[in-house]
């Protein structure tokens, strides 16, 4: 097997960025379709306004959006800037993995190991980006991402230089309990209603599965600090933190369903609704603000992916 070091950097980076942009394009499909319970493979992408099939050359990641100047070819309706943004994030993520993580590998690393690591870290990063956008819009993170990501992290722990199998299992378990115990279990005992932290607990578990206990602790601490700063900034500049529109709509839809149902079905729906963290309207003020925490946990986990060694050096006081 040829070694990673035998390939010129421009080549490795170009291939990685192209792969990242394309996967970012697929990620847009995930972000839109998964919360709506739609299939990822069918139907092919169409214009949301007039239903015209989108041509492959208009679907070229990032550059397609630029060439079209942000409007669809068919009916000139506005394309959400989220599409090129997510594609660009995929490209940047892939670039950063090559120049930060792969570049730090021993020079005798075979190319197939480097490629496997690239795809593993891409899976992690892209999963976290998808989780963030879905959480921002719908205030929940799909289990497919958190549990799936945890399984991949645990299974690949022996292949990556981040931690070992024991570290991954301990990190995942402690990471989950760290959030679940105070914010879900105790909260439920004390307040008699569902906490809203299950998705967050699973995200910290994911960080632990990939980076061991130091990763889980970092995700929680750095995520909390950055989330608090963001909440303060939004509160001070806008005067309030509004819940996402989709959440208000989903609650109204659920209330309509309950209104229309009768008998046992109605009982079942009410019970299900009360377990849902979005059942109550957000309380006014900064403390009741409903700001998704997932994106900050995801951001902190990505920070650990790229700067984890600096944090470890600070934590344990050793030179890296
Ligand atoms: Zn159209």
Return all residues near 272 (Cβ < 8 A) that are at least 6 apart: none
pTM of the model: 0.87
CA of 43 to the centre of ligand 1 (A): 16
**For the chain, what are the domain ranges?**
1-138
* Phi, psi of 110, rounded to the nearest 5 degrees: -65, 150
Residues with CB under 5 A from ligand 1 (ion): 47, 49-50, 52, 72, 74-75
1-31 pLDDT, tens per residue? 788 888 888 999 999 999 999 999 999 999 9
Which pLDDT score is estimated for 285? 62
Query: Which percentage of the chain shows pLDDT scores above 70?
Result: 93
What pLDDT is attached to residue 223?
A: 94
pLDDT(262) > 90: no
- Ligand 1 centre distance from Cα of residue 45 (Å): 11
Band (282; pLDDT cuts 50, 70, 90): low
- Among the residue ranges 29-33, 96-100, 252-256, the one predicted with the least confidence is 252-256
Alpha helices in the chain (DSSP H): 9-33, 63-67, 82-96, 111-138, 143-156, 165-179, 187-191, 198-238, 245-260, 263-275, 294-316
| Better pLDDT: 286 or 139 | 139
pLDDT digits (tens, 9 = 90+) for 220-248: 999 999 998 998 898 888 877 777 788 88
């Amino acid at each position: 097997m040829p070694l990673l070091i035998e390939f010129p950097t421009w080549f490795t980076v170009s291939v990685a960025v192209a792969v990242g942009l394309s996967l970012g394009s697929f990620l847009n499909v995930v972000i839109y379709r998964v919360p709506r319970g739609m299939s990822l493979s069918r139907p092919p992408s169409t214009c949301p306004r007039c239903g015209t099939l989108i041509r492959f050359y208009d679907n070229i990641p990032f550059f397609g959006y630029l060439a079209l100047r942000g409007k669809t070819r068919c009916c000139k309706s506005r394309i959400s800037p989220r599409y090129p943004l997510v594609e660009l994030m995929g490209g940047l993520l892939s670039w950063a993995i090559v120049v930060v993580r792969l570049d730090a590998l021993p020079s005798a690393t075979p190319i197939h190991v480097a490629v496997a690591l690239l795809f593993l870290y891409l899976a992690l990063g892209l999963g976290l980006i998808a989780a963030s956008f879905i959480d921002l819009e719908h205030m929940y993170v799909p289990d497919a991402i958190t549990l799936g990501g945890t399984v991949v992290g645990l299974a690949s722990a022996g292949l990556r230089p981040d931690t070992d199998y024991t570290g991954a299992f301990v990190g995942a378990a402690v990471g989950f309990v760290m959030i679940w115990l105070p914010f879900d279990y105790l909260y439920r005992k004390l307040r008699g209603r569902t906490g809203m932290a299950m998705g967050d607990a699973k995200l910290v578990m994911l960080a632990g599965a990939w980076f061991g206990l130091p990763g889980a602790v970092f995700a929680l601490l750095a995520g909390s600090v950055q989330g608090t700063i963001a909440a303060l900034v939004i509160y001070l500049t806008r005067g309030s933190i509004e819940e996402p529109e989709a959440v208000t709509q989903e609650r109204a839809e659920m209330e309509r369903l309950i209104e229309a149902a009768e008998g046992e079905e109605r009982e079942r729906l009410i019970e299900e609704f009360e377990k849902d963290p979005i059942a109550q309207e957000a309380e006014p003020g900064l403390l009741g603000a409903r700001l998704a925490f997932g994106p900050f946990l995801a951001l902190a986990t990505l920070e650990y992916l790229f700067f984890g060694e600096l944090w470890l050096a600070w934590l344990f006081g050793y030179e890296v």
